[in-house]
Amino acid sequence: MTSTLLNEQGWNRNAIERQLAHAERNSVRAAYNYAEFMPERKKMMQAWADYLDAIKAGAKIIPMRSAAG
């Protein structure tokens, strides 16, 4: 859900994947890319925290229907 919402909000998909720690298939590349996109990731995570705070505070949320219903 987080990945989908962040992508819909226009964040860099590579920054999203790096932040969510989705596995890099190349172990050498993974070791060197740990801090990749860090400034953008910090902004993205603050925006995500603000989004969650708004939900907690009672922001209007559109309910999602279940796949069955």
Span 14-48, pLDDT tens digits: 899 888 876 667 777 666 667 788 899 999 999 98
**Rounded Cα gap, residues 67 and 69, in angstroms:** 6
pLDDT of residue 61 exceeding 80, the answer is no
Structure tokens at 6: 């962040």
H-helix or E-strand spanning residue 28: helix 27-32
Higher pLDDT, 62 or 15: 15
**Rounded Cα gap, residues 25 and 60, in angstroms:** 39
H-helix or E-strand spanning residue 44: helix 38-56
**What's the average model confidence in pLDDT over 48-60?**
85
**Rounded Cα gap, residues 4 and 17, in angstroms:** 11
**What's the average model confidence in pLDDT over 41-65?**
82
